[in-house]
Structure 1
Amino acid sequence: MSEPEDKAPPAPAPAPNTEGGGTGAGGAVPVTKSSPVPPEAIKAIPVRHYGRWISAAIVLVLFGLVVAAFVNADITWPTVGRYLNQETILTGAVNTLWITLLAMLMGVVLGTVLAVMRLSKNPVMSSVAWGYIWVFRGTPVLVQLLIWYNLALIFPILDLGFYRDEMNDVMTPFLAALLGLGLNEAAYMAEISRAGIQSVDEGQTEAAHALGMTGSRTMRRIVLPQAMRVIIPPTGNEFINMLKTSSLAYAIQYSELLFSATRISSRNLEVMELLLVATIWYLILTTIFSVGQYYLERYFQRGSSRNLPPTPWQRVRRSLTSFRTPSQVGGKTI
């Protein structure tokens, strides 16, 4: 006798179609419309970043140790406060700002000319511009300042045909500082301007030439205005760097901020206090111009970005608002 075969379990009945009017094997299936079930609210659990708190605590401890070390150091802090608005220090700060503005102006103008020369198809113009950049970028600023200041050693008399005078009377510390800082800055500004000019699409130049515009007019009216948003950010950084590099003029006896501070400290022997005074003034000047640079960059970004970056005050206000207003996820406040 053969063993009885295993019987398969009966197939489950087809589920009723609740969305459409389909039919099953036994005929029409009644259509049922159930009420929609709302999704379950999301319960957001914020991720705890323990590493952030630990690193922040370590940084605060180290910062506190540095501050405590300077507070407890042998520094006469009332002297620092007394000399912050001293006349000699204020004169040095004004001279620092004045030489920075003039040297930066010379660097921007001459650097733009050098950038155009560098991009010229004339091999003489491009070679001269390349040689200038090579020389002034390849030598330290302090060496250039000393060369200009001691130029009378090799050229005792300045003879220009229409003007003749002794070089010592012409090459004052101010003029030596202006030439040394300005001509050196022109080499760096030439590369910055060249990068900005090359960032403009060549189709802009071709379209301007097709309209009958000359090369110089195309450069002034079409290329340079569009290149400004690329040139402005590094130019602002160069200005702030120039503000600090001007302290090298101390070596050629120009009465800038550092020279004024050291001249006072040589009389009262409070060297560290006067260096801190100069440091505070440098921080004040760089902070003011850093804020100005930010708004200048924001101004030139109007045509390149759809939404302008928020100002520092807007960032603070947004942070305070987001801190006060609770966020909602899935209908629940978290």
Structure 2
Amino acid sequence: MGQIMEQMPIVVDALNIGFLQTLKLFFVTLIGAFPLGLVIAFGSMSRFGPLKYFSKFVVWIIRGTPLMIQLLIIYYFPGLVLHTPIWGGGESGRFLAAAFSFVLNYACYFSEIYRGGIQGVPIGQEEAGLVLGMTRRQIFFKITLLQMIKRIVPPMSNEIITLVKDTSLARIIALQEIIWAGQAFMKGSHGISGAIWPLFFTAVYYLIFNGILTLLLGRLERRLDYFR
């Protein structure tokens, strides 16, 4: 017990650094995936055939393959197969590759949620807007969008909570997020080897962060109750 207490400051400092990397990847993914997902959703609903089927094909590929495989292909394929490394070296290069992979992956999942939310709004409301002389742009932003947001909050909340945990997959390309930091103490990091207890501490970070997100998303869902 005394040894653990001595090691605690070193472990907490390392986990904090790893968790900051996890948070960075989480927020970058959301910032990129929210708008890209909407673009893909519009592509999937487009009346222009090639765009529609291309969008659906991309979504099918991304949703049908593991995120871990996507990370490996996106990070290693340009350099090993095409002999054109595009991500650069070091931690920044690994982060760029991970961020690109996560944004693309979650944008495809978000696009299906967007599409379901948009198509779930009764068509009669769009027709009523047209009768009142509104443009399709006005109908979307003043009628469809607000109702869509209410419909998509619960499934979006689930995806956002899943994203927090999925960030741990970035360690497959050696991105030093929080799980990587916890595992390092089993291999001799900072002069500490064979210590498994730091991994249990990483679970505490995830639980607290997911708890905060659950409260915030629950509050958002309650505030949108007026659309019922």
Task: Settle same-fold status: TM greater than 0.5.
Answer: yes
- Partner Cα distance (1:77, 1:172) in 2: 36
The reply to whether residue 123 of structure 1 matches residue 49 of structure 2 is: yes
Name 1:279's counterpart in structure 2: 203
- More relative contact order, 1 or 2 (CA 8 Å, 6+ apart): 2
Name 1:294's counterpart in structure 2: 218
- Partner Cα distance (1:109, 1:284) in 2: 27
C-alpha distance after superposition, 1:98-136 (max 9, x if no partner): 111111222221111111221222212211111111010
TM-score (norm 2): 0.88
- Partner Cα distance (1:287, 1:80) in 2: 29
The reply to whether residue 167 of structure 1 matches residue 86 of structure 2 is: yes
Aligned length in residues: 222
C-alpha distance after superposition, 1:30-75 (max 9, x if no partner): xxxxxxxxxxxxxxxxxxxxxxxxxxxxxxxxxxxxxxxxxxxxx8
- Partner Cα distance (2:11, 2:223) in 1: 34
**2:178–2:202 CA contact under 8 A, matched in 1:** yes
C-alpha distance after superposition, 1:174-213 (max 9, x if no partner): 0111111111111111111111111111122122223343
The reply to whether residue 222 of structure 1 matches residue 143 of structure 2 is: yes
Name 2:182's counterpart in structure 1: 261
Aligned CA-pair RMSD: 2.3
**2:183–2:196 CA contact under 8 A, matched in 1:** no
Runs of 5+ unmatched residues, structure 2:
none
Tell me which structure has the larger Cα radius of gyration.
Answer: 1
**2:150–2:227 CA contact under 8 A, matched in 1:** no
Q: Closer, same or farther in 2 for the Cα pair 1:197/1:127, shift >3 Å?
A: same
Runs of 5+ unmatched residues, structure 1:
1-74, 158-165, 305-334
- Partner Cα distance (1:208, 1:80) in 2: 68
- Partner Cα distance (1:303, 1:84) in 2: 50
Name 2:13's counterpart in structure 1: 87
Q: How much has 1:236 moved relative to structure 2?
A: 1.2
- Partner Cα distance (2:156, 2:61) in 1: 21
Query: Out of 112, 125, 132, which is 1:191 matched to?
Result: 112
Over the matched positions of the two proteins, sequence identity in percent amounts to: 29
**1:108–1:189 CA contact under 8 A, matched in 2:** yes
- Partner Cα distance (1:105, 1:80) in 2: 39
- Partner Cα distance (1:199, 1:80) in 2: 57
C-alpha distance after superposition, 1:125-159 (max 9, x if no partner): 211111111010011000000011102123333xx
Q: How much has 1:293 moved relative to structure 2?
A: 1.1
User: Which one has a larger percent strand, Structure 1 or Structure 2?
Assistant: 1
The reply to whether residue 209 of structure 1 matches residue 115 of structure 2 is: no
TM-score (norm 1): 0.62
- Partner Cα distance (1:217, 1:156) in 2: 48
- Partner Cα distance (2:2, 2:167) in 1: 27
- Partner Cα distance (1:196, 1:76) in 2: 55
Q: Which runs of 4+ in 1 moved over 3 A?
A: 75-81, 211-214
Q: How much has 1:76 moved relative to structure 2?
A: 8.2
- Partner Cα distance (1:79, 1:99) in 2: 30
- Partner Cα distance (1:80, 1:193) in 2: 50
Q: How much has 1:232 moved relative to structure 2?
A: 1.0
- Partner Cα distance (1:246, 1:221) in 2: 35
Which AA in structure 2 matches 1:285? F
Q: How much has 1:225 moved relative to structure 2?
A: 1.1
